[in-house]
Amino acid sequence: MAGKEHTSAAAVTALGRAADTWLTWDKNPKTSAAVKQLVSDGKTEELEKCFGSRMEFGTAGLRAAMGAGVSRMNDLTIIQTTQGFCRYLEKSISDLKDRGVVIGYDARADPASGGSSKRFARLAATTFVSQGIRVFLYSSITPTPFVPYAVTHLKLCAGIMVTASHNPKEDNGYKVYWENGAQIISPHDKGIAQAIEGNLEPWPQAWDDSLIDGSSLLKDPYKSINKEYFSDIQKHCFHRDINKKSKLKFVHTSVHGVGHEFVQFAFQAFSFPPPLAVPEQKDPDPEFPTVKYPNPEEGKGVLKLSFALANKEEATILLANDPDADRLAVAEKQESGEWKVFSGNELGALLGWWIFTCWKEQNPEPGAVKNVYMLASTVSSKILRAIAVQEGFHFEETLTGFKWMGNRAKEHIDQGKTVLFAFEEAIGYMCCPFVLDKDGVSAAVIAAEMASYLATKSLTLSQQLAVIFNKYGYHISRNSYFLCYDQTTIRNLFDNLRNYDGGTDYPKMCGKFKVTGVRDLTTGYDSNQPDKKAILPTSKSSQMITFTFANGGVATMRTSGTEPKIKYYAELCAAPGNSDYDQLKKELEDLADAIEEHFFQPEKNKLQRKVD
């Protein structure tokens, strides 16, 4: 096998063995042909990309490009992953065969490798059925939140959602839920990963997905879960009369994903007329032809067609889901004619305020609020904390990701507490506790009801956000990221922060801003704790450092678990009564600029800035 000069003979031999094993096991004609061609052509560098390292199974499950090899999403890696997951479940849950699992999928597909979310879901179902385990396999595409909902509603042992959410079209993923209805966390991720390594060879019936057709072990939950889900979200509709009479017009886009019909059903459940759908984007399309990135979090570029339709139809509110409908973005037309796209933190403030307001109307008795909880991730706005201080409910912070908020919410619910709301700044909202994950379907219709109610008070969403900030204190944020594909560069950047300016400690200043606290959840250090040990869980496999500043600023720098990004989140939290928004915004911008100038050095020239 010919290769580049720097590739050792031993490495080439190892790649050859890996390719041979792959060809022995892989029965997908497209991926096996691709590997045979690479071997025949001596493409060592490409083989290294395919077989150099296996996808790492973590708390986010799997997410990678579709294609051949152990580093990518394909039929064989799906079979191997599910075999490991199956064995781990058998070991962990005694009544697995009686209760079963649920599997859902989005509309992603890759013609070049023959991979698709539906194909992967069927192979996963085949693995479980071959072992005599009941499988609830959705017969059509479904939003991600319908998988955790089914786990809880049907009292199942686990759930799998095949989706790459808002990632580029080349990617796919495998998201796993435990029997509590929340995403898996440690130690399950490590246990599943070990079980995968012990079950790499496909089982005898692994490739025969006709096994599930007509099997008594296979159930289709599509109709029943749709009915029950929309029945349950109706319990969170508090202003049906207003909804029926609302004169607001809403535009909705599913960004070529699964969300269109489900948001239509949600509006029907709340007695709204259906939102206007962006015609070019309402049907699922794995090519995502109208957007560069299928992620409404990216801002106005993704919403261009939505703005055009809304302007034409004189609609004032835009609702946008990502392709698997677990996230929600909202925009509102201002008096100037411009569109304001709310940040994830701003929408979190609005939804948190609204859900608490509705709860308070339903629960006026004194003392009830002491049993109420809201949650947010560490990189999200602290606005819920400020509201909690004044209103008397509990606010709790978790690590980044809904896997942490979902599991923590379930713990509170099991203790008889009321969990009203959880959110993270990446436009993820848990508005209904029967889904222990972010849910863009329920969030869309609840946001619509909030906007309709405010309209009866002659208030816009933007005006209500100002009311919230005036009462509880301005919380303004600037979040961004740099792209970085080199792990050494990432490691050097964060190591520099731990040994700042050649010393052996964290920075004391960031430009003119004084650092008053440091929490490093990679190493477990927290300067604000008496023993200097962090309270929140730590992980050496990911980078995350939070700095607090004397001016009330908070900034977190972290790596992404699913994308090649170094993200930073900066927020300035002002006390109630400080209404000098322009001055606060200027100070936040200065702080964020200082972070980029000082904390991203000396690696900044090796990073690629976010492009809107």
Q: Which residues are catalytic?
A: 165
CA distances from 263 to 193, 351, 428, 597 (A): 36, 17, 16, 43
394, 388 in Cβ contact below 8 A? yes
| Angle of helix 344-362 versus helix 461-472 axis, rounded to 10 | 80
Preceding peptide of 602 cis, ω within 30°: yes
The answer to whether the beta carbons of residues 436 and 180 sit under 8 Å apart is yes
At residue 163's C-alpha, the angle toward residues 283 and 104, to 5°, is: 85
CA distance 21 to 503: 49
E-strand ranges in 109-228 read 109-110, 115-116, 135-137, 158-162, 171-177, 218-219
Q: Which residues lie below 8 Å from residue 372, measured CB to CB, with a gap of 6+?
A: 356, 359, 393, 394, 417, 418, 419, 420
Query: In whole angstroms, how far apart are CA 57 and each of 187, 193, 210, 429?
Result: 12, 6, 27, 25
- Rg of the chain (C-alpha set): 25
- The phi, psi pair for 131, rounded to 5°, reads -105, 15
Strand partners, 546: 519, 556
Distance (Å) of CA 330 to CA 28, 238, 246, 609: 42, 20, 18, 25
Residue 363: CB partners within 8 Å, gap ≥ 6?
A: 369
Side chain identity, residue 74: N
The CA distance from 452 to 444, in Å, is 12
Task: Outline where DSSP puts E strands in 254-354.
Answer: 276-277, 317-321, 328-333, 339-341
* DSSP helix/strand/coil, 324: coil
Are the CB atoms for 1 and 44 separated by under 8 Å?
yes
C-beta of residue 137 within 8 angstroms of C-beta of residue 219 = yes
For 514, the enclosing helix (H) or strand (E) is strand 513-520
Give the span between the Cα atoms of 216 and 132, in whole angstroms. 10
Show the DSSP H helices in 331-424 as ranges: 344-362, 383-391, 402-414
**DSSP bridge pairs for 559:** 566
With residue 261 as reference, give the H or E element that holds it. Answer: helix 260-269
* Three-state secondary structure string covering 466-498: HHHHHHHCCEEEEEEEEECCCHHHHHHHHHHHH
Neighbouring CB atoms inside 10 A of 95's CB total 8
